[in-house]
Amino acid sequence: MALFNSRKRSTSPSYVSTSTTLIFIALCVFGVWMISSNYGFSPQTLTDEATSTSMAIDTSSKINNDLSSTQDIPQITTKNIQEPVETTTKSTIEDSAETNTNSEMQKDTSTTTTVFEDNPGHLPDDAIKSDDKNNNNEANKQKSGTSDSQMFEESSVTQKEQASSVSESGNNDQNSESEKVQQSSVEASEGNAKGQDSMESQNANEAENKEQNLGQKQDVQSFDTRGSKNNEDEANKEQLIEDKGDITKKDGKVTTQDENVDSKKEDTSQVSQSEPEKNENQGESAKSQDSKAEKKGQKSKKAWATQADQSHQEKKRQQDNTWYLCNVTAGADYIPCLDNEKAIKMLRSTKHFQHRERHCPEDPPTCLVPLPENYKTPIQWPSSRDKIWYHNVPHTLLAEVKGHQNWVKVTGEYLTFPGGGTQFIHGALHYIDFLQQAEGGIGWGKHTRVILDVGCGVGSFGGYLFERDVIAMSFAPKDEHEAQVQFALERGIPAISAVMGSQRLPFPSNVFDLIHCARCRVPWHEEGGMLLLELNRVLRPGGYFAWSATPVYQKLEEDVEIWNAMSSLTKAMCWDLVTINKDKLNHVGAAIYRKPISNECYERREKSEPPMCKDNDDPNAAWYVPLQACIHKVPVNKAERGAKWPEEWPHRLHKAPYWLNNSQLGIYKKPAATDFSEDSERWKNVVDELSNIGITWSNVRNVMDMKAVYGGFAAALRDLPAVWVFNVVNIDSPDTLPIIYERGLFGIYHDWCESFSTYPRTYDLLHADNLFSKLKERCKLAAIMAEVDRIARPGGKLVVRDESSTISEVAALLKSLQWEIISSNEEKGILSAKKGNWRPDSLASS
């Protein structure tokens, strides 16, 4: 009724103005129709524009009927578009009519907000200037507030491989034309707004404030619309690339594609997000930043921080892991690469003991191995050589079947080790001296320093060799001889779980001074002597093979057949049978062979059986390399490794190998011999250094250098009588393991993206020098730390030297594992931590 009365009071000029406006708007509608016909808009676009035009007509109608409220309709600005224009209307209606008008204006704002959400193209400067300086300033503020949000969205597109935002450039041309229509409507409305009294101006200001609030809400909602679009043609993709190029030029904050790739490496969860999740995250972060920018009327400082926050939160989530106990059959004895039941079940054959070899899970486990019930702090060396806590390795089968051979016995709460074995019931030390007497050239602790013990049992042979200043790399499979290697490690004797199967052993060629087998149950003579030929590969030229087994001294039919086969094989391999001796105390015998130091014998053979290996066969390649029944030639060039025997121990420890010369570059980019010497110098004070950060050496026996180079760390610990160091050379690092063996130390090749071939709770100290920063580029740091937790003993220590950022990540993971951080200096890049007894309560899903 109020509206009807207002029409009666309108003057004739008002009627003329109304007519003029209606005609003008009709022309605008016609122009829109013509433009849409020319540019081929989609039906959806035409519908949106028709809706916008209809609302504009409806609003203009109300305006010309003396609706005298003044409204400023803010528009979202994007890069390279004109500044926002102001639409001014007036109204003198009652509150109820004003409410209705605001509702209509909100609908109109929603429509125009969608139209202005993207780049309309490059317009001339004079086409986008505003006549009002104040309005221009306000528009600049608005533009500044939205530009960061748009750049954030563009950068997110790049970082997420443009999966969800390609469509944003599709509306650019459409928006440009729509802006022209809106601007024309605004100009017409401004003409009708002149000549009103001061009361109308006051009402206009109130309406303006309300409409600005509505406009801000609509601006925020526009990101939802953009985040949900999916389908655009190739032309729009090209336009999007051009638009992003413009932003990059104008604002140095835009990241490059390389930086985005680095971001993906750091935040792996973003790569694996589903498409809806990516759209949702992008929309939410964009809304948050745009809203803050609009409200403050200035450029947002946090538009780029959103992605950083996302990455930070994801890293924090990874570091704050919820750990679970491993849900596996092996329980407290779990070795992931040896207890992979799924992979073992899929094996086509187990003829060559493939089921005892490494079969690592595709995804390294991040679960934690439980502790045995009533676990205690291990007994210290040297007492541990003779006894260990029963509850630490609660297995009695070996005591039952091997007790009479003095392997192991159950004595109250202890497992005791009389020092015997199948071939040395009366003690390993007597047997060791027996071998020395049989062949004086062995020279324990001088000529012979590093040996390989095949089928080591509980490790007594290697354990007693320490008294002769000899270190033994002992190994045996994880088989029916329950926990034999675990017994050895708990006693403080070096050992790994491995088998002579279908693959090469993880050692370089020509490195062991002597190889020992005492009833090791390996069929050396079968498969063309393939397994014995593998020993020939790793045995140093001139080195010994000591074989103590029943075929050597018994005359049973089977034993005789094996002896004859071994005799033929070793003769064909040019091994010299040095001696066969009998141990009267133990009633056993041993045959000792020696590997040739030249190739002359091979050249004189009547038959090439076994054949010589091909010239392109690399004898040092040892990581998952299949075995071949062939003989590698002996190095004869005097400058070649293996052509000479190392100097006697201990002189060989600190002297650079003869085959390292200054014509080669070392690991640290200096002449190789100089590099070697400086590495030794670097570590000479390591004992005192580690003592200062919480390492109590009296509690340390089993030590692992997780990333050895020249073995300098191990060499520096040599004077600690209770300590031995297992050196690990990573498969993607320079192959320096032969140098380590040349020094009279020992080690193994390994990839720390997989689990190590050892039982849980076997090392007192783990040392990682610049390992984790490189390693995390290709495998998950959480899985690596779970492996560290697996092989470290409760009460054991970890020392990390690395980049400060990596130190921080490692510390966070260790804290989540309930390790105690003893010392941490990110500036110096060193950390030490101690493992406790904590285990999670929940089991991992199977």
Q: Where is average pLDDT lowest: 153-162, 170-179, 528-537?
A: 153-162
Do the Cβ atoms of 546 and 516 come closer than 8 Å? yes
More confident residue, 840 or 32: 840
Q: Over 60: is that where the pLDDT of 300 sits?
A: no
- Can you tell me the mean pLDDT for 284-308? 51
More confident residue, 31 or 489: 489
What is the band of 85 on the pLDDT scale with cuts at 50, 70, 90? very low
What is the band of 276 on the pLDDT scale with cuts at 50, 70, 90? very low
- Can you tell me the mean pLDDT for 574-579? 98
HEC profile of 668-724? CCCEHHHHHHHHHHHHCCHHHHHHCCCCCHHHCCEEEECCCCCCHHHHHCCCCCCCE
Q: Work out whether strand 495-497 and strand 539-548 pair parallel, antiparallel, or are unpaired.
A: unpaired
- Can you tell me the mean pLDDT for 376-381? 97
Q: Over 50: is that where the pLDDT of 204 sits?
A: no
pLDDT at 22: 79
More confident residue, 678 or 98: 678
3-state SS, residue 216: helix
What is the band of 663 on the pLDDT scale with cuts at 50, 70, 90? confident
- Can you tell me the mean pLDDT for 835-839? 97
Tokens of 460: 């007594």
- Can you tell me the mean pLDDT for 236-253? 39
Whole-number percent of the chain with pLDDT over 90 = 59
Spatial CB neighbours of 145, under 8 Å, sequence gap ≥ 6 = 290, 293, 294, 296, 297, 298, 299, 300
Q: Over 60: is that where the pLDDT of 250 sits?
A: no
57-81 pLDDT, tens digit each: 343 444 344 434 434 433 433 333 3
Q: Over 80: is that where the pLDDT of 284 sits?
A: no
Strands in 792-801's sheet, in edge-to-edge order, are 747-750, 724-730, 702-705, 763-769, 792-801, 830-834, 820-825
Spatial CB neighbours of 638, under 8 Å, sequence gap ≥ 6 = 644
114-128 pLDDT, tens digit each: 333 333 333 334 333
What is the band of 317 on the pLDDT scale with cuts at 50, 70, 90? low
Q: Where is average pLDDT lowest: 137-151, 412-426, 794-808?
A: 137-151
More confident residue, 256 or 349: 349
275 CB neighbour count, 10 Å cutoff: 11
- Can you tell me the mean pLDDT for 744-768? 98
pTM of the model: 0.66
Q: Where is average pLDDT lowest: 71-80, 395-404, 596-605?
A: 71-80
Tell me the CA end-to-end span of the chain in Å, nearest whole number.
Answer: 75
pLDDT at 240: 38
Do the Cβ atoms of 745 and 717 come closer than 8 Å? no
pLDDT at 661: 84
Q: Report the interhelical angle of 95-115 vs 43-64 (nearest 10°).
A: 150
Do the Cβ atoms of 837 and 371 come closer than 8 Å? yes
Q: Where is average pLDDT lowest: 84-98, 169-183, 415-429, 545-559?
A: 84-98
What is the band of 413 on the pLDDT scale with cuts at 50, 70, 90? very high
Closest CA to 712 of 669, 747, 677: 677
More confident residue, 691 or 81: 691
Closest CA to 754 of 474, 345, 365, 268: 365
- Can you tell me the mean pLDDT for 636-650? 95
What does the radius of gyration of the chain's CA atoms come to, in whole angstroms?
Answer: 40
- Can you tell me the mean pLDDT for 595-605? 97
What is the band of 318 on the pLDDT scale with cuts at 50, 70, 90? low
Q: Where is average pLDDT lowest: 146-160, 168-182, 816-830?
A: 146-160
pLDDT at 25: 82
Cα–Cα distance between 815 and 831 in angstroms, integer?
12
Q: Over 70: is that where the pLDDT of 230 sits?
A: no
| Phi/psi at 197 (5° precision) | -80, 175
pLDDT at 479: 85
Conformation bin of residue 129: beta by default, left when phi > 0, alpha when psi is -120 to 50: beta
Do the Cβ atoms of 452 and 472 come closer than 8 Å? yes
pLDDT at 316: 61
Closest CA to 627 of 479, 728, 545, 526: 526
Tokens of 813: 């993971």
pLDDT at 20: 76
Q: Over 90: is that where the pLDDT of 203 sits?
A: no
431-444 pLDDT, tens digit each: 999 999 999 999 99
Report which listed range, 22-36, 230-244, 623-637, is most confident.
623-637
Q: Which amino acid is at 487?
A: F
Closest CA to 743 of 814, 664, 647: 647
Task: Provide the mean pLDDT of the chain.
Answer: 76
Whole-number percent of the chain with pLDDT over 70 = 64
